[in-house]
Amino acid sequence: MMQLYLDTYSGISGDMFLGALLDLGADANALNEQLQSLDLGNWNLRIEKTTRSGINGTKIEVEYSEQHTHRNFQDIAKIITESNLPDNVKNKAIDIFHLIAQSEAKVHGTSVDEIHFHEVGAIDSIIDVVGTCLALHLLEIDQIYCSSLPLGDGFVSTSHGKLPVPAPATLEILSTCNARVTFEKGSGEMVTPTGAALVARLAHFDIPTNVKVRKIGYGFGSRHLPWPNALRAILLERDEPSSAYSTYEVDEVVIIETNIDDLSPELTSYMQSKLLRSGALDVWISPVIMKKGRYGHIISVLTTEENALEITNLLLRETTTLGVRESRLKRVKAHREIREIDTKLGKIRLKLKLIDGKVHQAKPEYEDCASLAQKHNMSIDQVYDLANMEARKIIGKEIENLCL
């Protein structure tokens, strides 16, 4: 799995993002050829290898002769939809422009349909957004992480006149995601609306773990600053499990726990159900004796990195706890397979545990056995016995040998 970490120490804009991806090795010829299917008239993507403060990187510039055209969201979406770009690239690019349109509409107190892009509607901005989505596709990047965004201060000139930095649209865009930001004094505009929308829709604001650095790319911005004004894009590869684990499935999970001393039985059941519906892989609640000899409970939630924040929010908002603990662990799993068998009572699913491609265990699914027990007015033990007997017949000696 290829991942990307965006080190935004000098902010981010659309051209910096695209430049960094080209510096990482995105195929410039393939990118140019596919972008030409956008109905934007005559334009050219100039890609320049350059050095700033002793660091090699890439600076891009979109050259075009078009007089400034005010396009609305529907115009841009139509141009992208009618191109020959891959569907996933089209969808991401349209989603990014829709976010910008929503944010502009909120700032100006109007609707998305009435918003006409000025700077963002120009050819260079369209190429920046679509080109970035396409470059990510060409590099086969699966996941993107982003550092804290330095928002800068001062004023910026726009078609609406001078506006404060961060631009109102930039702040609206960042309010839609879990972006971590800092306010840098005396640095001007560091994050443009286009740059903000790209990371808001494409990136996680988190730190990647268990990865190896494969390549670094620098995309230079237009401004000359006392430091190298670049977006640093770090190409990462997820650390594969050692050969000792090759028989199994290995991934990373997050355990979120909290101690509560006033958890009622009703709330226990409610929270467990809601956590599972919210993406928890498993939830268990353990009785404990807490300080001062008080009886309490530990709520433990197993989840993925992607769902960790939602689970944390749920625990903090819907229980009396004041805090949670998070741990990231490696999980090793046997391969599993679901197989449906026919019995004289009806169909029953078996969960098979496979190691080295061989069945080591077959367990009937509880829901199927319970349903058939109720349907035929039998005990669930009788249904389990029948299911296990049929499983041994179908799976053969591997299960029989295991049960001896």
Task: State whether 112 and 178 are in the same domain.
Answer: yes
Domain limits for position 273? 249-333
**Looking at residues 17-22, what average pLDDT do you find?**
98
Instruction: Evaluate whether residue 243 is within a structural domain.
Output: no
Greatest CA span in the chain, whole angstroms? 82
CA nearest to 231, candidates 149, 123, 119, 337: 149
Domain ends where: 238, 261, 277?
A: 238
Instruction: Evaluate whether residue 244 is within a structural domain.
Output: no
Task: State whether 98 and 176 are in the same domain.
Answer: yes
Angle at 90 between CA 85 and CA 91, to 5 degrees: 150
Task: State whether 30 and 168 are in the same domain.
Answer: yes
**How does strand 181-182 pair with strand 149-150?**
parallel
Task: State whether 361 and 230 are in the same domain.
Answer: no
| Token pair 């991942």: residue | 3
HSE, CB side, 13 Å, CA atoms: give it for residue 362: 29
**Per-residue model confidence (pLDDT) at position 254:** 94
**Per-residue model confidence (pLDDT) at position 17:** 98
pTM for this predicted structure: 0.64
Task: State whether 346 and 368 are in the same domain.
Answer: yes
Task: Grade residue 186 by pLDDT with cuts at 50, 70 and 90.
Answer: confident
Task: State whether 124 and 156 are in the same domain.
Answer: yes
For 195-221, give one letter per residue: b (16+ CB within 10 A) or e. bbbbbbbbbbbbebeebeeeebbbbbb
**Looking at residues 394-398, what average pLDDT do you find?**
64
Instruction: Evaluate whether residue 373 is within a structural domain.
Output: yes
Distance CA 329, CA 12 (A): 32
**Looking at residues 358-384, what average pLDDT do you find?**
92
> What DSSP string runs through 71-97?
EEHHHHHHHHHTS-S-HHHHHHHHHHH
Task: State whether 329 and 341 are in the same domain.
Answer: no
Domain ends where: 303, 333, 363?
A: 333
**Per-residue model confidence (pLDDT) at position 155:** 80
Task: State whether 85 and 135 are in the same domain.
Answer: yes
Instruction: Evaluate whether residue 358 is within a structural domain.
Output: yes
Average pLDDT, whole number, for the chain?
Answer: 89
CA nearest to 100, candidates 231, 204, 196, 205: 196
Instruction: Evaluate whether residue 305 is within a structural domain.
Output: yes
CB 101 within 8 A of CB 193: no
pLDDT top residue among 122 and 19: 19
CB 303 within 8 A of CB 256: yes
Reported residue count of the chain is 404
Distance CA 171, CA 107 (A): 10
Domain ends where: 289, 306, 333?
A: 333
| Token pair 């053969």: residue | 396
Distance CA 279, CA 46 (A): 45
CATH of the domain at 269: 3.30.70.1380
CB 355 within 8 A of CB 364: no
**Per-residue model confidence (pLDDT) at position 302:** 97
> Which of 30-34, 46-50, 76-80, 394-398 comes out lowest in average pLDDT?
394-398
pLDDT in tens, 343-352: 999 999 999 8
Task: State whether 374 and 319 are in the same domain.
Answer: no
| Token pair 């609707």: residue | 111
**Looking at residues 238-247, what average pLDDT do you find?**
68
Q: Give the chain's domain count.
A: 3
**Per-residue model confidence (pLDDT) at position 137:** 97
Say whether pLDDT at 402 is over 60: no
What sign does the dihedral 150-153-156-160 (CA atoms) show? positive
Instruction: Evaluate whether residue 66 is within a structural domain.
Output: yes
Task: State whether 214 and 340 are in the same domain.
Answer: no
pLDDT in tens, 213-222: 999 999 999 9
Instruction: Evaluate whether residue 289 is within a structural domain.
Output: yes
pLDDT in tens, 118-166: 555 588 889 999 999 999 999 999 899 999 999 988 887 776 678 888 8
pLDDT in tens, 85-109: 999 999 999 999 999 999 988 988 8
Q: 250: which 2 tokens?
A: 């290995």
**Looking at residues 366-386, what average pLDDT do you find?**
94
CATH of the domain at 386: 3.10.20
**Per-residue model confidence (pLDDT) at position 300:** 97
Instruction: Evaluate whether residue 300 is within a structural domain.
Output: yes
Residues paired with 46 in a beta bridge: 61
Task: State whether 96 and 147 are in the same domain.
Answer: yes
**Per-residue model confidence (pLDDT) at position 55:** 96
Distance CA 170, CA 189 (A): 10
The DSSP 8-state label assigned to residue 344 in this structure reads T
Task: Grade residue 265 by pLDDT with cuts at 50, 70 and 90.
Answer: confident
Task: State whether 265 and 324 are in the same domain.
Answer: yes
